[in-house]
A and B are shown apart, each in its own frame.
Chain A
Amino acid sequence: MAPYTNIPLSPAELSYLHNSLSQNPPIRPDGRSPTQFRPLVAETDILPSTNGSARICFADGTEAVVGVKAEVEQSRTFVSATGEVGAEGVLGLGAGGVGDVDMDEEDDEQTSRAGKGEETWLEVAIEIPGMRDDDALPVFLSAMLTEALLADGELKDRLWINRRFHWRLYIDILLLSQPFSYPLPLLSLTTHLALLSTRMPALLSEKDEDPLFNDDWEASHFLYPQSEGRSESQRKPPVTLLVMSVGENIIADPSREELAVADAVVAISVAPSSTPDNEMVLKTLALRTVDPPSRLTGAGVPTALNTTAGGTSLTAAEALVLREKDQGQTVWRPPRGGVKRAVITRMIKLVTEQGGVGQEVLEGLAGVET
């Protein structure tokens, strides 16, 4: 039976998967450890006509391409109720630009643009084959990626050129394969790499003039400035990772089959930030629970109800009582209710702790040559 959900697993298979994943330690179908990430192939700067681009291919065959393009746009000026012109420096809500980027000559420029960026300057578009762009999945994915990118408040400030003009950044995400597993980590990692390789042309004009840019691509600077020495102290775009729980176990980077039996799925966005002693720590920028596909799976039929296997035919009420008494112990039943607070706290810790999943992924991505 392949029910409505496109999960090609029978109740018996689901029950088997759920049991093996809730053992201690969990036995995953592909033999990974609970925190192990799938191997991936990545390359950046592949599209010549974009400001930055990247491609990632996961081992299960899912593949995504991201292109980042920037356009100059005229800013709207606002006059606030206090008579202050909006673009002149009303501080934004974000904590943007407080901890500054470690650039020497750009230092004062960085502080001057703090809090001036607007959230509408960033546009994320996601294309998934076989899905309309107003389906739940693309909407959710683009909302999640956008809010993670905007959460540290620095990216939008970097898009500010002068009081009259700003950059508009288009991040176009293309999933090339069918969404075999939940594509959020793949798209997020690809966006991360594309933004890291994004370069903006150097500005030649001064102050509030119409912006004029250097057409020498060698003179361009990175959107996320890259320092030469220690890579730890560098600002980086956030990554969004998927974590799921089965019983008491917490599993990172679930595959499609594992998601089909998840009790709860959480998407966590983290970004690296450096402590005063130059150690990389991860901070949580956004967190969302994801509707686990397991809730859409069909329940199994207990033997007592199965007339072909010697069960008796019962009335609907009696069958209901029997199913409720079973509590999903002998046959598969889609999970009900939510997740405990302590489990969510453990999930966050698994991703953000020193040497946790988040750090492992970021270190892996830092090895990709830009």
Chain B
Amino acid sequence: MQADRRRINAPAGGTAPPTFTFADHPDLLRRPTRTRKPDEHRKIFLRTGIVPSASGSAYYEVPPAKPAPSTGSLVPTSSSLKITCTVHGPRPLPRNAAFSPNLLLSTHVKFAPFATRQRRGYVRDASERDLGVHLETALRGVIIGDRWPKSGCEVVITVLEGEEDGWFGEGREKGGGWGMMSVLAECITVASAALVDAGIDCVDLVSGGTAALVKGEGGEGEAVVLDPAPAEHEVTAACVVAYLQSRDEITEMWMKGDAGDSTEGLMDQAVRAAVMSRTVLVEAVKEGLKVGGDVQPVNGAPKGGEGKGKDVDMTG
């Protein structure tokens, strides 16, 4: 295509916006450090039933460990993760769709355009679609699909605030995709809560957990930490699992990086993280049931979404 010579075009190579920082904010120039123990999970907020029009929904948040220092700077020192999940269905497949003996699950993971330091487009990019595939693998193992022939179910996840891939102070997106791995673990947990809220039969509650192999203090040695925040560590390998605690099984596992001999240890630590997030998941699900039970008599009408309050005979 011929270049447009009547306008001043942007440089072909592309430029990077400058990052302004100030010498009187020493906190900003230092890599944030991990204040919790290596085997300690960040605090989680999880609540189900927040979207009334969906048949199931949940909201997940990892608040920052300490409140942002009042430096007056607009650059936040650490990210806090915020994810919403809605489940639509099970509902009949469209008439023109082919017969399916099982529940057809489709998952969409989308970062909001403002979720990360670099703006995301409105169309899902390759990494978001990849997260969707991972999530589908994790959920399809727990859903008892053969109880809903000819029906479909959509799990839609919007990441309102994402995890960073590394410390922003290093000046460029180093990538590595470590932030994506924590996001996936949290997506699994929140989707599991939303599935329960939608009343879809599952074999167990599935919860996600991450562990990472990080360089030790001063770049010496390596250590395994649970639930890493990539900004705080130099990650060399990481592992995400979707874990069913009562069956002691893994439905999804994603490991990346050169873990050397500690592959097994990494997997076990990720499972420990998943067990920790499961405790919150169980509480949130119980709380959601309690709220639903209270509301029903007051309104005098069944709560929205078919089959939500109704019991399904579970056997086996």
Binding site for B on A (CB under 8 A): 3-4, 73-82, 84, 86, 90, 92-95, 118-120, 134, 136, 139-140, 142-143, 147, 151-152, 266, 283-291, 295-299, 317, 320-321, 323-325, 327, 333-334, 336-341, 344-345, 348
Contacts and interface: CB of A to CB of B under 8 A. Distances in A.
B257 interface: yes
A74 B260 contact: no
Contact of B253 (A139, A140, A296, A344): A344
A345 B127 CA distance: 27
Contact of B170 (A80, A134, A283, A321): A80
Contact of B249 (A79, A317, A325, A338): A338
A81 B29 contact: yes
Contacts of A283: 258, 260
A76 B146 CA distance: 52
Interface stretch (B36-44, B262-270, B276-284, B292-300): B262-270
A317 B313 contact: yes
Contacts of A289: 137, 250-254
A243 B7 CA distance: 56
Sorted nearest first, the 3 A-B pairs with minimum C-beta distance are: A80-B171, A324-B316, A298-B101
Contacts of B256: 147, 151, 285-287
B236 interface: yes
B172 A338 contact: no
Given A93-B236, A147-B256, A340 B248 contact: yes
A140 B127 CA distance: 9
Give the one of B175, B204, B234 with max A CB within 10 A: B175
Nearest to B167: A81
A287 B15 CA distance: 35
A71 to B, nearest CB: 13
A99 to B, nearest CB: 11
Interface residues of B, number: 73
A321 B313 CA distance: 9
B175 A120 contact: yes
A171 to B, nearest CB: 14
Contact of B255 (A287, A324, A339): A287
B102 A296 contact: yes
A274 to B, nearest CB: 14
A338 B127 contact: no
Nearest to B253: A289
B126 interface: yes
A336 B174 contact: no
Interface centre among B124, B247, B258, B271 (most CB of A within 10 A): B258
Contacts of A339: 249-251
Contacts of A94: 176
Nearest to A322: B315
Contacts of A77: 16
Nearest to B134: A288
Contact of A341 (B98, B175, B271): B271
A118 B175 contact: yes
B252 A338 contact: yes
A341 B29 contact: no
B102 A147 contact: no
B236 A337 contact: no
Contacts of A134: 124, 129
B145 A321 contact: no
Contacts of B247: 337-338
A17 B68 CA distance: 59
A78 B127 CA distance: 23
Given A76-B14, A81-B29, A338 B242 contact: yes
B289 interface: no
B175 A284 contact: no
A151 B100 CA distance: 38
B235 to A, nearest CB: 6
Given A90-B170, A341-B248, A299 B267 contact: no
B166 A4 contact: no
A284 B28 CA distance: 36
B160 interface: no
A284 B146 contact: no
Contacts of B166: 93
Contacts of A143: 126-127, 130, 133
Contacts of B218: none
Nearest to A3: B101
B177 interface: yes
B169 interface: yes
Contacts of B264: 345
Contact of A324 (B18, B136, B168, B315): B315
Given A80-B172, A338-B244, 5 more contacts: A147-B177, A287-B253, A298-B101, A299-B101, A340-B248
A320 B144 CA distance: 12
A20 B244 CA distance: 28
Contacts of B129: 134, 136, 139
Nearest to A144: B130
A118 B258 CA distance: 17
